[in-house]
Amino acid sequence: MNCGGQWNAIMHKVFDHEATQDEEQKLIEHLETCEQCEEHFAELQQVHQSMETGMTYEAPVNFTANVLGRLPDRGQQPNRKTHWFRRYPMLTAASIFIILMASTVVSGWNMQSDNQVSYEANGAALIIDEETDTVIVPKDITVPGDLVVRNGNVKVDGTVQGDVTIIRGEYMASAGNVVGESEEIKKLTEWVWYSIKNLFK
Amino acid sequence: MIITSLEDCMLIFEKKLIKLIKKGDHAAFERLVDMYKDKVYHLAYRMLKDSHEAEDIAQEAFVRVYLNIEKYDDKYKFSTWLYRIATNLAIDRIRKKKADYSLDEEVTGTDGLTLYAQIPSDDVQPDRQVEFLETKNVIEDHILKLPLKYRTAITLRYLEELSMKEISEIMDLPIATVKTRIHRGREALRKSLGTNAV
């Protein structure tokens, strides 16, 4: 075989044009004294030269015409309309996502405007005053979380242990206690912001 | 921009062609095929050693280029992309052929020719058949005997002046792996030539 793998490695570096001058010099000196390595090198050189001077094969006649013949019939313009979608699939996905989210949010807002007074009070039973369209938290009632009222006003005589959110209504002066914050949402833009905040709750 | 070499000239011209091809310009595509057809055919032929298959693979590579030109990212050299497509097509074809039956076995008394080489195809011209049976360069036969991963590395290394970086991009492997395969490929060819004196 060979006296040391290190010499082999350098030989290959030489054939890859990656050996330093120093390495080449050392190899030459070694080959002068080591018959095995010299033989190994000569054989590798034969391989190397055979590969380099190997026949270059030319593509057959009519090659290009054949290629053109294999193209599917697509007409001159390759799908101008879908060009941008294909180029930027992530952008397309993001836009579709945004469109869907936006329409969900907007339809959510439109659903509020059925003019029906409603509320969500985490199970607490509240009173609805139909004449004034007001949802009242009675004096001795506690809402154990957030209160959301739709299409009506809010009057808190009891306690709300969370935030009060009023959609298309107003917060009336009250004697009660709200632990969190109160917020009125009257416009679509406010609704959008509210929806985004709720996503992260 | 200062053009420092003929190569730069070619790259600029190539970029222009690709821009046109993206707009569906068939004539520009034709020019590009002409520029690279010999190299791609050479690559395929070295891998497959069958002019019929090589032609098929080479043509298919260009068709894929045309159909997927939108996906070409010009931060890579076009040739890198093209050679990668061609290399992968050749590898797939080789693997498919191996699965069918092993015609790679040597037939005794035929000096390194494989059974495949001896099957005449009906639609091959007589002078092409001669090309099958008479190898003008002995080493080509030995390349065919190499394990696939060494065959690919060696073929690309000696295809033209491809840098190690380009070869690693074509094969989608780290540079160190590519070098190892090239070195082992050379050693395997050395052994092969040594035992199979022609």
The letter for the amino acid at B179 is: K
Which residue in A has a C-alpha nearest to residue B51's C-alpha? A60
Beta bridge partners of A134: A129, A153
In tens, the pLDDT along B115-130 reads 444 444 444 444 444 4
With CB atoms and an 8 Å threshold, state whether B26 touches A68.
yes
198 residues of chain B, pLDDT tens digit each: 566 788 788 888 899 999 999 988 889 999 999 999 999 999 999 898 888 999 999 999 999 999 999 999 888 889 999 999 999 999 999 988 877 655 555 444 444 444 444 444 444 444 444 444 444 568 888 888 899 999 999 999 998 878 999 999 999 999 999 999 999 999 999 998 886 544
Give the pLDDT confidence of A23-63 residue by residue, as tens digits: 999 999 999 999 999 999 999 999 998 888 776 778 898 99
Work out the minimum CA distance from B184 to partner chain A, whole angstroms. 10
On average, the pLDDT of chain B sits at 81
pLDDT of res. A177: 84
Does ipTM surpass 0.90 in this model? no
Distance from CA of A32 to the nearest CA of B (A): 21
Which pairing describes strands A164-167 and A182-185: parallel, antiparallel, or unpaired? parallel
- Which residues does chain A have within 8 Å of residue B37's beta carbon, measured at their own beta carbons? 59, 63-64, 67
| Residue bearing tokens 């593509």 | A59
CA distance B66 to chain A (A): 8
Q: Which tokens is A36 given? A: 């095995």
Whether B56 has its CB under 8 Å from any CB of chain A: the answer is: no
Say if the Cβ atoms of B60 and A77 lie within 8 Å: no
Q: What is the pLDDT of residue A63?
A: 94
Residues of chain A in contact with residue B164, where contact means CB-CB under 8 angstroms, are 16, 18
pLDDT in tens, A91-144: 888 888 889 888 888 888 877 667 788 888 888 888 888 888 888 888 888 888
- Please tell me the predicted confidence (pLDDT) of residue B134: 44
Q: Can you give the pLDDT at residue A82? A: 65
- Kindly state the helix (H) or strand (E) to which residue A93 belongs, with its residue range: helix A89-112
A128 touches chain B (CB under 8 A): no
